[in-house]
Amino acid sequence: MRKLIAGNWKMNGLASSLAEIEVLKGLTGKVTCDIVVCPPFTLVEKAAECAAGSAITVGAQDCHAQTMGAYTGDVSAEMLAEIGARFVILGHSERRAAYGEMDGVVAGKAAAVHKARLASIICVGETLTERNEGRAAEVVCAQLEGSIPDTATSSNTMIAYEPVWAIGTGQVPSLAQIEEIHSSIRQMLKERLGDDGGRVRILYGGSVKAQNAKAIFSVSNVDGALVGGASLKASEFAGIILAAD
Ligand code: PEP
């Protein structure tokens, strides 16, 4: 399966940060994996223009489930499609924690993303307490069950397994722990989507760096990465992309 490496810039980046995309464009023709950069809303259009014709595709970090209406401050999937986004990250643990986004809300947003002919990167992951209670796989599969809409296929849906305790902390689960959860996710996807579930890309996210990426990519059912901090500098992000190839 072709790997997909997505960078989540979170609430970072002004127009000057587009220089990082300029650098990444240098990878065009040199790598076979899919590369996605998800800047804040304000940069999506400019990033898409900057990346046009290159190996880089642009995504956003959230959207509303409705197409339009009285939702002050929100942005619809259709609006994102119009300005050149091709992917939308949904259900990131920071949004689940800060805005109380429940699985059903994530599923509604994912359905809107699919309707706008974009692809969703649906994030799931356990907290440290849940892991210590031995419930990591159970929690992740329950989140997935509730967060994947009926419109999901292997072409419009990617899953990102992101243990909450590994995000931005420098802590990474062991390769065996990653393998166990990715294999549970794969099984659940096959139960839900049949053979197509075997083709959905499952990304790992949580403190991925150029230096640990190769080992993580060697784990079965790891089909790429969702990268936060290390995606902000093109030199570091490129190291991760090259490790995937
Ligand atoms: C993320 O926020 O999706 C993430 C994986 O962050 P980091 O790589 O910084 O841990």
126-178: pLDDT as tens digits: 999 999 999 999 999 999 999 999 999 999 999 999 999 999 999 999 999 99
Closest residue CA from atom 1 of ligand 1: 228
Q: How far is the CA of 117 from the centre of ligand 1 (A)?
A: 26
19-58: pLDDT as tens digits: 999 999 999 999 999 999 999 999 999 999 999 999 999 9
Has 162 been annotated as catalytic? yes
pLDDT(7) > 90: yes
Q: What is the 3-state secondary structure (H, E, C) of the chain?
A: CCCEEEEECCCCCCHHHHHHHHHHHHHCCCCCCEEEEECCHHHHHHHHHHHCCCCEEEEECCCECCCCCCCCCCCEHHHHHHCCCCEEEECCHHHHHHHCCCHHHHHHHHHHHHHCCCEEEEEECCCHHHHHCCCHHHHHHHHHHHHCCCCCCCCCEEEEECCHHHCCCCCCCCHHHHHHHHHHHHHHHHHHHHHHHHHCEEEEECCCCHHHHHHHHCCCCCCEEEECHHHCCHHHHHHHHHHHC
Q: How far is the CA of 93 from the centre of ligand 1 (A)?
A: 10
So what's the pLDDT on residue 8? 98
Binding site membership of 93 for ligand 1 (Cβ less than 6 Å): no
Binding site membership of 167 for ligand 1 (Cβ less than 6 Å): yes
Query: Which residue is catalytic, options 64, 78, 92, 182?
Result: 92
Binding site membership of 207 for ligand 1 (Cβ less than 6 Å): yes
pLDDT(245) > 90: no
Has 101 been annotated as catalytic? no
pLDDT(239) > 90: yes
Q: Which atom of ligand 1 is nearest to the CA of 169?
A: 10
Binding site membership of 205 for ligand 1 (Cβ less than 6 Å): yes
Which of 8, 88, 178, 236 has the most ligand 1 atoms within 8 A of CB, as the residue to mutate?
A: 8
Domain ranges of the chain: 4-243
Closest residue CA from atom 6 of ligand 1: 228
Q: How far is the CA of 10 from the centre of ligand 1 (A)?
A: 9
What is the average pLDDT value for the chain, to the nearest integer? 98
Which of 87, 207, 212, 240 has the most ligand 1 atoms within 8 A of CB, as the residue to mutate?
A: 207
Q: Rounded mean pLDDT of 181-199?
A: 98
Which of 227, 231, 233, 236 has the most ligand 1 atoms within 8 A of CB, as the residue to mutate?
A: 227
223-235: pLDDT as tens digits: 999 999 999 999 9
Question: For domain 4-243, is the CATH number 3.40.1830.10?
Answer: no
63-116: pLDDT as tens digits: 999 999 999 999 999 999 999 999 999 999 999 999 999 999 999 999 999 999
